[in-house]
Amino acid sequence: MSDIVEDTPTTGQKFTAELLGTFVLVFFGCGAAIYSGGNIVSTGLTFGLTVVVMAYAVGRISGGHFNPAVTLGAVLGGRLPWNKVGIYFAAQLVGGLLAGAVLFGLGHGFDGFTAEGNMGQNFFGDQNPVAPYAWWAALLLEILLTAVFLWVILAVTDERNQINAVMGPLAIGLTLAMIHFVAIPLTGTSVNPARSIGVGVFAGTDAIVQLWLFVVAPFVGAAIAGLTYPILFGHGAEPVAGSGLNFGGGRKGDQFVPGNYEAQWNQGQQGGWGQPGAAWGAPPQQQWGQQPTPQQQPSQPQPDPYSTPQAPPAQWGQPAPQQQPPAQQPGQWGAPQQQPPAQPGQPSAPGHWGNPDGDDDGRTQVRRPD
């Protein structure tokens, strides 16, 4: 199998990956909310599945954020430098707006379609279709849910977590789904400013007025999680330069690090998700198809008991002992033997086949068969 050359994604590729991932998330997630009549299960699972699919698809390029709150949590958690924030935010906002525009256009395929209040937008207060829900409760709910979401993301992408290489995207997607199961009847579930803005600007004046809460709350929740995760659980790796509250230190610098965040698992360790030839759960230095390291090879070959016996090696400063050629006599194989007494400071010689008892002069003697 040919080797895969590891390329460093360009800024344009990262922008495209984040734009595409956010577009898919908003289009399918909010589309499910619109066309399923707000069904909680189908909407929640659709949002979760889109994260799983797109994280596997383009996560190796950008890290698979698809959410400005995730990007902020990654920066404050030491996984991404601040100078990447602008390009990520721009891509995510454009992707969300494009998805909202496409949903807006497709909705007009129905006669009498009205976008106001029918775009899968978020809500609180008297805009809640079930019952009025207080703004402060909606604010606290979105902060809490976003913090939980970011704690899970930072945990499963921690290099110390052994399941992240394979199961990370699935765990993140299931977390987003269960968040929707709880919050859809209360706020429509945001935890993502790009998702809220993308469809909110097409959903009428009331939805636009309420957008502030669904921008502020996810950012606050992400900041809480990003700052507290290293305090609660420690850094899996030294923070990248220019991340967190440190704008200068760090050992990794601003270069591309494979596995840097979310879908690029293991924070640069070999064998992470997306690495060629990686064996899940194998040590970083040994992958499938590779030979063991020299330390793993036997230090010396095993002796052959049926080979011709060799004289012991001469010690430093002493002449090598002479070896008599072994006599080939029938009937002597396996006969009792006795080792010659070892002289002081010298190792005893290995036993010779057919060595008779009473060999006191240190030489090998052979008795006649009669």
Neighbours of 116 (CB within 10 A): 12
When pLDDT is averaged across residues 100-118 and rounded to a whole number, the result is: 95
pLDDT class of 299 with cuts at 50, 70, 90: very low
pLDDT band per the 50, 70, 90 thresholds, residue 114: very high
pLDDT given for residue 310 in this prediction: 53
What are the helix and strand counts (H, E) for the chain?
Answer: 9, 0
For residues 218 and 226, what is the distance between their CA atoms, to the nearest angstrom? 12
Question: 273 falls in which pLDDT band (50, 70, 90)?
Answer: very low
- Is the pLDDT at 325 greater than 70, yes or no? no
pLDDT tens digits, 176-194: 999 999 999 999 999 999 9
Contact 321, 311 (CB under 8 A): yes
**Residues near 226 by Cβ (< 8 Å), separated by ≥ 6?**
72, 73, 74, 75, 76, 77, 150, 154, 244
**What pLDDT does 244 receive?**
82
pLDDT exceeds cutoff 70 at 133: yes
pLDDT, tens digit, for every residue of 40-88?
999 999 999 999 999 999 999 999 999 999 999 999 999 999 999 999 9
Of residues 19 and 2, which shows the higher confidence score? 19
Q: Over the stretch 208-267, which tens digit does the pLDDT of each residue have?
A: 999 999 999 999 999 999 999 999 998 777 888 888 886 544 444 444 343 443 334 334
pLDDT of residue 5: 55
pLDDT of residue 23: 98
Instruction: Give the type of residue at 189.
Output: T
- How far does the chain reach from its first CA to its final CA, in angstroms? 67
Buried (b) or exposed (e) across 320-332, using 16+ Cβ within 10 A? eeeeeeeeeeeeb
Rg (C-alpha) for the chain, rounded Å, is 35
Going from the N-terminus, what domains does the chain have, and what CATH number goes with each?
11-268 (1.20.1080.10)
